[in-house]
Chains A and B, each alone.
Chain A
Amino acid sequence: MRRILLPLALFSLLYGRLTPDAAAQQTRVDTLRSATVTAIREKMRNTTQTGLMRLDAERLRSGAVAFGTPDVIKQLQALPGVAAGNELMSGLYVHGGDGNDNLFLLDGVPLYNVSHFGGLFSSFNTDIIESLDFYKSGFPARYGGRMSSVVDVETREGDLEHWHGGLSLGLIDGRLQLEGPIIPGRTSVNLALRRSWMDVITIPALAYANRRNGEDETASGGYAMSDINARLTHHFSPRSVLDLSFYTGLDNLRAGIAQRQYEKDADGVSHPLQQDMQLHVRWGSLTAVAAFRHQFSQKLKSASRAYYSRSHSDTGYQFSFETWQDGEQTTAMDDRDRSYVREAGLKSDWDWYPDSFNHVRFGVSLQQHWYGSGRVFTYEAARPGMAPDTDSDDETGAYRSFEPAVYAEDEIFLSYNLTLNPGLRYAVFVTQDKAWHSLEPRLSMKWMLNRDYAFKLSYTRMSQFAHLVAAMYMDLPSNSWMPSTAQARPMTSGQFAGGFYTTPFPGVTFNLEGWYKTMEHLLVYNGSNTFIPPLTEWEKTFTEGSGRSWGMELEAGWAGEKLDVTAYYTLSWTQRNFEALYTGWFPDRNDNRHKVNLILNWQFHPHLSLQLNWNWHSGNRITFPSHIVKENGSADGRLVYDAPYNTQLPDYHRLDISLDGRFKTRRGRTLGLNLSVYNAYNHKNASMALLTTDKDGNYSGMAYALVPIIPSLSVSYRF
């Protein structure tokens, strides 16, 4: 198979060509540029796929933002059918998914780590994003490798005629974007930089604190994250375009404290007692892609990519202790954990329009993955009169896997009313002398009752060969990706979806969509209580189970000239079945029965607009003891649990307000001002909870709200 596919991909990469064509005007989801909300909604109705939402650049940059930084993931979290998990984090639990089963593509390249600072920000810089396609169901055959959703982010090609850009300053970060022609009309570049500046505050604050503490205690620390996005585009001809895209994101967190005290020995001699603790965590991602698009004819075009993607984390903890109390005693410990996932791939996607009734897409991809993790631990202790106590541990685990895949799909226009999109994807995942085969049928159907009313149905099967090894429900750098192995089977899902989509009146949209999804071979951590799960033989500490989710989503919207109102409602059930945890189905922690989002956009002044965004959903679920078992005649009882996730936290709701101002300067530049208030009425939303008892011994819940009202201001300048 390799002998056939590799030359085919190389041929496509080297000799493929592309141009725009008339056929591209047909219903498609991958070429739309900036558009109005109304136009987007109509496009959504006209696509064959269910569960597809497109967010354009304008929408991604607008709206209320926390800390003055627009965030792609948080925009997606507000959409129906999506649960957000922990507040302010980058969780994306789509149609009952697990959060690690979303395919994030940046210019067609899979991105494994999509967040900064534990999920506070996503890795996508909205300054350079052209559009985003978000699939929750009805996945076209050209997408594969993840179970629950596809987030396909396309960056913007630089301006071929003029240089321009922008500067933005938010509450905790700053951004710079610059684009323009290198060779006018042929070659352009678009560059976006982002960096947090929290360390600008923390470094002098720590210096001040250290000066007050004197020499006895020195604290150090800081956090910084940075992003660089770059896209270089060259038009060889109207039919041939070469894109070189690059992204790198890096987080660096360090904290330490050094303490010194003096103590006297038996002879009254004073000796220093020193203690030093240092923690550093570095993690990040990198992607690079060369894409060549070429149009062979009016009927045939191709896009071929060669890419590299990497995600890594490095956690280190050093501790040293030195005392002379009973002679010189020293203790030193060094603990380092590292993990990485690398992927190199070749992809070739082809569009063929054999006639006006068929739009055939087919393609091939070859991916090589490298997964690795390791822990190096050393410990040394020396005490007078005793042999040195030493210990060390050096564990490494590495996997290499190869994943070829082919797909084909055909969008068939059977009549004006009826469109079918059958597709088939076949992938093989080879690792550790084990080959996992996956045949994934995809089918979407659209039936237009008339110009304004459409029914859609879809069925898709998806497979996932990569597993996020995490012991906690938090986006920690210590989480690492591992492949399916002989013991850990690939996760799979099957999903039926269907809906009714209409624009009964001009500007009015009403969409109703339902889904039923099953998930097999899910993995959940079942090991001991730790932040970092064992990375070698990691399958041992995970247990396998299944999941299911069903529900409906409602979208109602009205778009006027200056006012735009959208309402989303989701009614859903999400359950899990893990034999090792419970006999039978139990609710998932993100089983939010109801979810409502109300969004109002009001352009009340030529330069000012207001957005109100109200979110409400049923509370997340946690596991509390449910019963007390008392032995006969005993006053004391013991708490027992009747099921996992048996308790619902209080309902979650908040209002975000955003006031956006855009003003023209005398030189024709644009000055932007955004005032946002996150959680405007400061509602206490439970992030976690504990069971407590009052003085009478009655049990009650104590919730902890971690995110209060967050006002923020950001300023931008476009030139």
Chain B
Amino acid sequence: MMRPTRLFRLLFPVLTVLWMTACDFPFSLKDSASPKIFVYCVPADGGTTLQVQYAAPAYGNSKTVFDFHPSVVLTIGGIPQELTEDPEKPGLLHCTADLWPGDEVTVEASAEGVPSAGGTTTVPPWPCIRDLSWHQVQNDTLTATRVTLTLDQAPAEGDYYGLQIRTHTDALYLEDGQPKFESTDGYSAPGQAFSNQELARVDLSDYIQVNFADGLISGWASREPLALLSAEQFDGASYSFYLNSPDLDWIYGFAGQALPGEDGWDPSQGWDPENGWKPGGNVPDNLPERILLSETVSYQLILYRLSKEFWYYAKAQYQSNFDFLANMGLIPANFTWSNIRDGIGMIGAVSSIESAPYIIETQLSALPEHP
């Protein structure tokens, strides 16, 4: 009979090997997904954006993209509309037909080899701003503009809004001893955070921002941030925010950029509009010989009233920034929203209103001393 100690000696390496081998392993993903049509359509009173693309299964044998020529029909109130293709972006279509609240917009797309897909949305009512106030606030180190927006009535449950701040900047520089005028257009992020530190502490559920560039939604709000608001974020009919809030890309550093003050040049540390260069400022060696003399920034608020479909889809796109945990099966998957029948994507209307410009001028009294 084998002695227990000897049996243990024999079994121990076997058990150890078995234990060590229990780790990761590849598994085949079933080729159950079939090709579908991807539809993205945002009917808006300023022009409708429409994208129809071929969605190939991500795995399996059928992911070869063939020449895709879909037949697309967009109707408003049952009447087909003319579509023109964006010359710079193949597949991006525009419709310039007027839209009115309550209009029902339908898109139907069909192509060879894929099931026909389509969906419907209804244009929401125009948003109505009763009052808009802008004022400066300041803490120890930073100055910011606080904006309070008041609607004509308090939003009800199921009312959704979007907020964008469009900027136009005219700046006068002294560059290599010569004055230089520069004019730029862009967007700033409206949000609840005053600084990056504050942003790290806000509840991200109340701070949804997506990129809404060229009428296309994508997850990170790095280009044209659109803040998403539901009735819960409003205090009665009012909503207050900072004009130049840090956008969400900073919070996890997912955008691949360094946080201000870590290893890059942080303008708020090195330059103070009133006092010139700060002694403790972190100025990189390769800073161009360029000094700002004056600056005029014009801010314009765009308030969107969102359809339910747009809200769900935009929120899902935002959540997809965090999809890795759901992919692992650890948290609920809340980023798959679609209302395209037999396809993937979204048709969701918006209506919008723009405010008058709010202008902040910065005139420097004297040339700053360069360190």
Interface residues of A (CB under 8 A from B): 385, 387, 389, 391, 393, 471-474, 524-530, 534, 540-541, 543, 579-583, 586, 589, 620, 622-634, 637, 639-650, 682, 684, 686, 688-692, 698-709, 711
Contact = CB atoms under 8 A, between A and B. Distances in A.
B336 interface: yes
A627 B55 contact: yes
Nearest to B335: A641
Contacts of A690: 324, 327-328
A318 B227 CA distance: 33
Given A642-B344, A647-B29, A704-B23, A525 B331 contact: yes
A629 to B, nearest CB: 5
A582 B63 contact: no
B59 interface: yes
Nearest to A540: B232
Contact of B15 (A530, A639, A689, A711): A711
Contacts of A691: 58, 327
A628 B332 contact: no
Contacts of A703: 24-27
B329 A689 contact: yes
Contacts of A540: 205-206, 232
A629 B55 contact: yes
Interface string B311-345: 01001100110111111111111111111000011
A709 B27 contact: no
Contacts of B38: 627, 629, 640
B22 A708 contact: yes
B366 interface: no
A346 to B, nearest CB: 37
Interface SS majority for chain A = loop
A96 to B, nearest CB: 16
A230 to B, nearest CB: 38
Query: Most A CB atoms within 10 A — which of B53, B56, B57, B315?
Result: B53
B13 interface: no
Contact of A581 (B24, B59, B140, B337): B337
Nearest to B207: A528
A583 B27 CA distance: 29
Nearest to B315: A580
A309 B19 CA distance: 40
A705 to B, nearest CB: 5
A412 B322 CA distance: 56
Given A582-B338, A633-B90, A700-B28, A624 B327 contact: yes
B336 A644 contact: yes
Interface string B24-65: 111111100101101000000000000101111111000101
A692 B326 CA distance: 15
Contacts of B24: 702-705
A632 B90 contact: yes
Q: Which 5 A-B pairs have the closest CB atoms?
A: A708-B22, A528-B204, A529-B322, A623-B333, A627-B55
B91 interface: yes
Contacts of B332: 473, 524-526, 581
Contact of A688 (B29, B322, B329): B329
A582 B340 CA distance: 10
A404 B30 CA distance: 51
Contact of A620 (B63, B201, B327, B329): B329
Given A700-B26, A703-B25, A708 B326 contact: no
A580 B312 contact: yes
Given A580-B334, A627-B33, A630-B65, A707 B22 contact: yes
B205 A541 contact: yes
A684 B197 contact: no
B112 to A, nearest CB: 15
A684 to B, nearest CB: 5
A699 B58 contact: yes
13 contacts: A580-B337, A583-B339, A622-B326, A624-B29, A627-B344, A632-B90, A641-B320, A641-B335, A642-B33, A700-B29, A708-B21, A708-B22, A709-B22
A332 to B, nearest CB: 15
Contacts of B285: none
B201 A393 contact: yes
B68 interface: yes
B182 interface: no
Nearest to B252: A529
Nearest to A524: B332
B55 A534 contact: no
A2 B325 CA distance: 47
A645 B32 CA distance: 13
Contacts of A623: 323, 326-327, 333, 335-336
Contacts of B205: 527-528, 534, 540-541
A699 B327 contact: no
Given A623-B327, A637-B56, 5 more contacts: A473-B332, A640-B55, A691-B58, A700-B29, A704-B24
Contacts of A529: 204, 319, 322, 325, 331
B2 interface: no
Nearest to B279: A385
B18 interface: yes
Contact of B338 (A473, A583, A629, A699): A583
Contacts of A534: 203, 205
A709 B335 contact: no
B337 A640 contact: no
Contacts of B328: 622, 688-690
A622 B327 contact: yes
B78 interface: no
Contact of A474 (B36, B57, B330, B345): B330
A701 B329 CA distance: 13
B87 interface: no
Contacts of A627: 33, 35-36, 38, 55-58, 344
A634 B327 CA distance: 26
B280 interface: yes
Nearest to A681: B18
A529 B29 CA distance: 26
B333 A626 contact: no
A637 B335 CA distance: 18
B330 A701 contact: no
B330 A689 contact: no
Contacts of B53: 629-632
A644 B333 contact: yes
A541 B35 CA distance: 34
Contacts of A583: 337-339
Contacts of A393: 201
Nearest to A638: B218
A688 B333 contact: no
A639 B24 CA distance: 23
Contacts of B315: 580
A337 to B, nearest CB: 14
B22 A682 contact: yes
Interface string B243-255: 0000000000000
Given A623-B336, A709-B15, A709-B19, A630 B54 contact: yes
Given A622-B327, A689-B329, A708-B19, A650 B27 contact: yes
Contact of A701 (B27, B51, B89, B335): B27
A473 B331 contact: yes
A666 B6 CA distance: 30
A541 B21 CA distance: 40
B183 to A, nearest CB: 31
A472 B333 contact: no
A689 B25 CA distance: 9
Nearest to B308: A579
Find the residue from A385, A581, A645 having the highest chain B CB count within 10 A.
A581
A629 B327 contact: no
A622 B36 CA distance: 20
A528 B319 CA distance: 7
Given A529-B331, A647-B29, A700-B29, A581 B22 contact: no
Interface string B9-23: 000000100110111
Q: Which of B28, B59, B337 has the most CB of A within 10 A?
A: B59
